[in-house]
Structure 1
């Protein structure tokens, strides 16, 4: 009977471009990026540190079930983990389907983009004239906002701040905040949030 630390032969993972994916390198990269020790990852995935070390060094293969347990520790599924760093030397272009719409109010086109393995969200918002968020929002992380078109009002904990085209700002997402467009022209903003706002 095979033990956990014995190599389990699985078909090689292949990226969309046909390249073989280095699973161990991806696991190691994700673990280090999150400041996680081998022992911590082992405990959280219910695998041994020596086995994970062997996988990271390319000395052992890993079954999909075990890889799924490691991926879950990082908040990913297996497919997302396998494509985490595949072929990063080439650009990846995203379609409109990759931008998830969120209902934030009538006349507000709010879309969020979150890539697997990336610890931030990109949010784009277009406001029709005289429109506003339905309600204020508070969340973990930092908001970094840029207004490329028009003028929007940031309601930050009940205090209004006007942001015109070309303006940018940074604040804690934990404070309730919302946006509105008080003008007769459309407006847009782009935001980067350093945490997950929407679990969609």
Structure 2
């Protein structure tokens, strides 16, 4: 296991201030004037040669359009690295690869491994509000969509409204897919299984 790097929070705050300033296209002089501090003081704050006073932090957060909480939020690998838990049911294993869909444009991403013993096709089609997209990582998917049956091979993708009766299965062996639901699709899949999101 790689060693965990120690992160200096004050350095992170300085980087955030400098990054937000530059993203707005402001010079040191421009932001300093807005905050009623000297450009040399702001320069020393950004380079770590001066501690930030609370009143300066308040003014900087206000002018940069953020909050003190966001500027001083601790950095932790947990806000980046996702260690997915495995959910298993007959013919299907699911690993959720993203966080709360509400935080990511209403979408949730999962990796799924489907085996031929998963029940699909007529009699096992589901309908619910929403939208779904998947790409096949390995194997061949059998996609039942309305009255159609299609095969989707490794390297190909499919996208469809989940208001069309549908099911996703495996042809001639296990398949692995990377799939994405919108919030309606996530809700329907979660409620249908009572666990992790599920393809129908």
Query: TM-score with structure 1 length normalisation?
Result: 0.48
Greater helix content: 2
Larger radius of gyration: 2
Query: TM-score with structure 2 length normalisation?
Result: 0.48
